[in-house]
């Protein structure tokens, strides 16, 4: 956005990586039901809105932190291209974070505390941890806190003891996002075969852990197994291409698909927590708007 100009919608949607926003909304939706939510209450939708604001703020801050790198490697990004000024990106980021926290403070002060922790994790990832060995784990923590914030919307107090299915859901989302972040780190230049193999091995362990949990704890419950199988089948082609050729093209496509299918990760967790099937299955719908806007905007 040039001085004296206005922020165009396309520049804003590119800055916040709009296709990815719906996966964050899915996290909040899943968290509400996993935490014990009992209906489509306005508290749920307030949490979904705040989750969207937090991830958009985080994506904008990512471009703020990477402005020099983007100027060298991705000059078409909104800040180096001049479509969005640095000061505008800062203002948008902080404004969306403040609005998200304000919404949570109104609907549930307990969730606002979780939102503060999420905002702190977003800053820590973007400005201190992203380029180091803790970067993927920090990004996974951001998403786990997003899910946790959604859960807290249904609580009157933080529970002293958490069911194993709740803990499994948090760890599952953390691990999945950490793995995707590990792969995405070398998206521009492409991954080495060793790095791609490490990622594929880690994701294989993630799928194996859910398969073991499904058999040992859930006695192969059909909805859980179907959600697991659907995710595996949908990711089969991009992961197979990544294994054959971890070039920028295949790395970028794999990362984009992995992020768009985060709602299916949430659906697996919803069924694992015995959420009534209509609400659990409805979590798949968060994939649709991501696909719709993904035709025009990058996810990463």
Read off the CATH number of the domain in which 60 is found: 1.10.357.140
CA dihedral 210, 49, 159, 262 (to 10 degrees): 10
* Residue 1 forms part of a structural domain: no
Q: Which of 221, 132, 141, 183 is nearest to 300 (CA)?
A: 183
Q: Mean pLDDT for the chain?
A: 93
Which one has a higher pLDDT value, 278 or 186? 278
Measured in whole angstroms, how far is the alpha carbon of residue 79 from the centre of its chain? 22
Q: Is the pLDDT of residue 2 over 80?
A: no
> How confident is the model over 69-108, as pLDDT tens digits?
888 888 889 999 999 999 999 999 999 999 999 999 999 9
Q: Is the pLDDT of residue 280 over 90?
A: yes
* Residue 300 forms part of a structural domain: no
Residue 63, CA distances (Å) to 66, 138, 185 in order:
5, 17, 14
Range of the domain at 94: 9-294
* pLDDT, position 260: 94
* Residue 206 forms part of a structural domain: yes
* Residue 184 forms part of a structural domain: yes
Q: Who's near 294: CB < 8 A, 6+ residues apart?
A: 19, 256, 260
* Residue 4 forms part of a structural domain: no
Domain tally for the chain?
1
* DSSP single-letter state for residue 284: G
Q: Is the pLDDT of residue 191 over 80?
A: no
* Residue 224 forms part of a structural domain: yes
Rounded to whole angstroms, the Cα distance separating 47 from 100 reads 9
* Residue 2 forms part of a structural domain: no
* Residue 3 forms part of a structural domain: no
> How confident is the model over 130-179, as pLDDT tens digits?
989 999 999 999 999 999 999 999 998 888 888 999 999 999 999 999 99
């Amino acid at each position: 956005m040039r001085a004296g100009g206005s922020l165009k919608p396309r520049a804003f949607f590119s800055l916040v990586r709009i296709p990815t926003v719906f996966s964050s909304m899915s996290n909040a939706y899943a968290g509400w039901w996993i935490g014990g939510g009992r209906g489509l209450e306005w508290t749920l939708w307030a949490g979904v809105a705040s989750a969207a604001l937090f991830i958009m703020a985080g994506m904008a801050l990512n471009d703020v932190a990477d402005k020099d790198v983007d100027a060298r490697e991705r000059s078409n990004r909104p800040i180096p291209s001049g479509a969005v000024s640095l000061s505008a990106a800062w203002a948008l980021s902080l404004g969306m974070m403040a609005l998200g926290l304000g919404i949570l403070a109104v609907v549930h002060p307990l969730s606002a505390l979780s939102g503060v922790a999420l905002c702190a994790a977003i800053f820590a990832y973007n400005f201190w941890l992203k380029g180091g060995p803790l970067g993927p784990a920090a990004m996974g923590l951001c998403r786990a806190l997003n899910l946790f914030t959604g859960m807290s919307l249904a609580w009157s107090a933080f529970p002293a003891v958490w069911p194993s299915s709740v803990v499994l859901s948090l760890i599952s989302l953390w691990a999945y996002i950490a793995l995707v972040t590990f792969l995405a780190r070398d998206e521009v230049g492409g991954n080495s075969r060793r790095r791609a193999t490490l990622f594929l091995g880690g994701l294989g362990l993630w799928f194996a852990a859910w398969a073991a949990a499904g058999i040992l704890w859930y006695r192969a419950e059909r909805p859980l197994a179907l959600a697991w199988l659907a995710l595996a089948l949908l990711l089969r082609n991009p992961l197979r291409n990544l294994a054959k050729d971890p070039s920028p093209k295949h790395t970028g496509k794999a990362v984009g698909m992995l992020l768009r299918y985060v709602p299916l990760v949430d659906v697996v967790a919803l069924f694992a927590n015995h959420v009534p099937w209509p609400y659990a299955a409805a979590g798949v719908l968060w994939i649709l708007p991501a696909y719709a806007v993904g035709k025009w905007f990058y996810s990463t």
